[in-house]
Amino acid sequence: MKILVAVKRVVDYNVKVRVKADNSGVDLANVKMSMNPFCEIAVEEAVRLKEKGVASEIVVVTIGPTAAQEQLRTALALGADRAILVESTEELNSLAVAKLLKAVVDKEQPQLVILGKQAIDSDNNQTGQMLGALTGFAQGTFASQVEVAGDKVNVTREIDGGLQTVALNLPAIVTTDLRLNEPRYASLPNIMKAKKKPLETLTPDALGVATASTVKTLKVEAPAARGAGIKVKSVAELVEKLKNEAKVI
């Protein structure tokens, strides 16, 4: 079985995000970038499936600038076999990303595609579902457990009412939730080995995909500062403030 894992380069989750002075976007100058945390979970799950003997090859793909090779090398150090960079400096929306991934899926013909359920920068939670629609593959989103059995993959999903298990015919698409696994750290020997693993660079034009966006960002603003909380001396005082000041009851 070949597994394709899509990853994304984002601002490191420990970094405090700053907005540009002209409100045109997020300031990325001299900011630490890393792999999206949900994508790390996707890579880890693919590696575990390979360790179990379920998968024979793991291909990791990302869409972004040349610098995104750093995140691909990280994925290779974690256990992926080879990498593909679809090089683009444009700000791509979810649909454009899904179309590019669909072209990579057509090229690679994987039996299983694993993505993080969302990226921590845009928080859209759309790409996996759009890729499922474009490919016609079965999909299991928000996975907290993945088990491959023959030509099916059983995905336990986290839903509002608890857990739901779905059986998907392969090929299939799975998007990962936080509780699926705990990603490992890359060892120094594996980091060194990752430098020699193959990394292929493609372009949207080479894949025959138009990435022109129909969405335009007008303005980006930082969240408004939140006021300090207060302590109340009794339940009666709390109820009074909720009723007369906050007006929520």
The predicted pLDDT at position 74 comes to: 95
Q: Answer yes or no: is pLDDT of 160 > 90.
A: no
User: Is the preceding omega at residue 198 within 30 degrees of 0, hence cis?
Assistant: no
Q: For all residues of the chain together, what is the average pLDDT?
A: 92
Q: Which CATH number belongs to the domain containing residue 28 in this structure?
A: 3.40.50.620
- The answer to whether residues 7 and 39 touch, using CB atoms and an 8 Å cutoff, is yes
Model confidence pLDDT, tens digit, residues 65-110: 999 999 999 999 999 999 999 999 888 889 999 999 999 999 999 9
Residue 197 lies in a domain: yes
The predicted pLDDT at position 177 comes to: 93
Structurally, how many domains does the chain consist of? 1
The predicted pLDDT at position 206 comes to: 92
* pTM for the predicted model, two decimal places: 0.85
The band of 202, judged by pLDDT with boundaries at 50, 70 and 90, is: very high
Residue 205 lies in a domain: yes
Q: Which domain holds residue 154?
A: 2-244
The predicted pLDDT at position 9 comes to: 95
Residue 249 lies in a domain: no
Q: Answer yes or no: is pLDDT of 47 > 90.
A: yes
Residue 198 lies in a domain: yes
Residue 166 lies in a domain: yes
Residue 232 lies in a domain: yes
The predicted pLDDT at position 143 comes to: 94
The predicted pLDDT at position 187 comes to: 92
The predicted pLDDT at position 227 comes to: 79
Residue 15 lies in a domain: yes
Model confidence pLDDT, tens digit, residues 109-140: 999 999 999 999 888 899 999 999 999 999 99
DSSP string, 38-79: HHHHHHHHHHHHHHTTS-SEEEEEEEE-GGGHHHHHHHHHHT
CA distances (Å), 187 to each of 77, 79, 111, in order? 8, 10, 28
- The answer to whether residues 45 and 114 touch, using CB atoms and an 8 Å cutoff, is yes
The predicted pLDDT at position 211 comes to: 87
